[in-house]
Amino acid sequence: MADATLQHNAAAAHGVAGEYEAPLFGAYSKKVGMWLFLASDSLTFGALLFAFSYNRIYTAWPTPFGKESIINATIMTACLLSSSLTMVMAVFAAQRHDSSKTRLWLLATMVFGTAFIVLHGMEWTHLIHEGLSLPAFPKPAGQLDTEYAKISKGVPQFAATFFGLTAMHMLHVTIGVIYLGVVALRKWFLPILGVIYIGAYFAIPADNVFHYAVHALLIGLIVSAVILFLKPKDYDAHDVEVSGLYWHFVDLVWMFIFPLVYLMSTKI
Amino acid sequence: MHDVAKHDDSKGQYFWVWGALLFLTAVEVWLGYRQVFEPVRMLQVLLLLSVIKSALIIGYFMHLKFEKAIMRWMLVISVTGCFVIMYFFFFPDADRVKPPPSGVGIGQKS
């Protein structure tokens, strides 16, 4: 390995033909690496969606989602689709080396992503308040006799697949927003993320599941800080394009979760 | 040095793709809310629409359409192959078990 590297360096120094052998996939290594990660991640979501579909066919599936939930989920979908468009604009701006526009488009993408998370969080809170729950969740006050409480008891797969799939996706969106924040603002993003974490921790009541889930932001803050301090750099067009690949993947996954989880459970 | 993927830089096509994705989402919502098909047929139709939407996202937004053919085919064939294996793993078993009467969940009396 070391010999090969030395030979390569020697060849590069002397301008020997073949020093820059064209990569097999015609793309830089970061991009190939991200594609391979996304391929593996798609199998994770694929397995979860297959398990959901299996349950959906096998079980007499409840259909509790009314107009309010469907409208909310449709707005969330529009947010993600719009964020993909702003992400494309960020990549174009980065290719033109227009750093201020790149930053603005990345921030717009983050705004749409954050709107998605907030809307999803409100939806979760509403459903949990109505009685849809998992054993691990904090229990709302009082004994509930609602439709959702009956579903949680009678068809536990419904709550398990709903919260499992959407939590996995929400985590990916959160990681995506942090990733874009690091690319757009670098070290300036760390104090912002810290303030958001502390604010969210104290603003969300202790009986809300997001009071605990918000610690994902702290983990994101620590990981981002380690990366930014160990390898400080100005992120270039390649980095913006690779972060865009991740962001579009998050959008792509939702295109399956939204119809399967929400529309297949619409109240008739 | 291979640079950032170069392709047709006209931004108009991305707005068209965005519009098409929003339109397909509206069609899905309409189908879901009106319960146009019975559940298994609905699952198939919604999955088909989702596959079309994902193809638009992967092809245009993720620029796979503009990558080298070997990268396109390697990714598409490998991921699709894994999903086909998953399909054969899961669904023959789903057909084996008959669902309980409509409106009754597992563990409930009909």
Interface pTM (ipTM) of the complex?
0.85
Which B residues 53-82 touch A at CB under 8 Å? 53-54, 57-58, 61-63, 67-68, 70-71, 74-75, 78-79, 82
Contacts of A46 (CB under 8 A, 6+ apart): B82, B83, B86
Cα distance from B5 to chain A (closest Cα, Å)?
8
Cα distance from B3 to chain A (closest Cα, Å)?
7
Closest CA to A29 of A230, A243, A238: A238
DSSP A45-81: HHHHHHHHHHHHHHS-----B-HHHHHHHHHHHHHHH
Q: Where do the domains of chain A lie?
A: 29-265
Residue B63 contacts residue B5 (beta carbons within 8 Å): yes
pLDDT at B8: 52
d(CA B15, CA B12): 5
Cα distance from B55 to chain A (closest Cα, Å)?
9
Residue A45 contacts residue A168 (beta carbons within 8 Å): yes
d(CA A247, CA A38): 10
Taking CB atoms and an 8 Å cutoff, what residues of chain B touch A93?
none
Nearest to A81 among B18, B68, B79 (CB): B18
φ/ψ (deg, to 5) at A28: -70, 160
Phi-psi label, residue A131: left if phi above 0, alpha if psi -120 to 50, beta otherwise: left
- Whether the predicted pLDDT of B16 surpasses 60: yes
pLDDT band at B58, cuts 50/70/90?
very high
At the top level of CATH, which class does the domain A29-265 belong to? mainly alpha
Residue A105 contacts residue A93 (beta carbons within 8 Å): yes
Taking CB atoms and an 8 Å cutoff, what residues of chain A touch B86?
46-47, 50
pLDDT at A238: 92
Whether pTM exceeds 0.80: yes
pLDDT at A8: 46
Contacts of A214 (CB under 8 A, 6+ apart): A197, A200, A201, A204
pLDDT at A134: 84
b/e per residue A21-53 (b: at least 16 CB within 10 A): eeeebebbeebbebbeebbebbeebbebbbbbb
Helix residue spans in chain B (DSSP H): 12-34, 39-56, 69-96
Residue B8 contacts residue B63 (beta carbons within 8 Å): no
Judged by DSSP in three states, A266 sits in strand
- Whether the predicted pLDDT of B109 surpasses 60: no
Q: What is the DSSP letter of B103?
A: T
- A246 alpha-carbon distance from chain centroid: 8
Q: How many alpha carbons fall within 13 Å on the CB side of residue B105? A: 18
Whether residues B11 and A154 touch (CB distance < 8 A) is answered with: no
Phi-psi label, residue A37: left if phi above 0, alpha if psi -120 to 50, beta otherwise: alpha
Q: What is the DSSP letter of B63?
A: -
d(CA B42, CA B27): 12
- Whether the predicted pLDDT of B42 surpasses 60: yes
Q: What is the pLDDT of residues A149-182, one digit of tens each?
A: 888 888 888 999 999 999 999 999 999 999 999 9
Q: What percent of chain B has pLDDT over 70?
A: 75
Mean pLDDT of B71-92: 87
Residues of chain A predicted below pLDDT 70: 1-22, 140-144, 268
Mean pLDDT of B52-72: 92
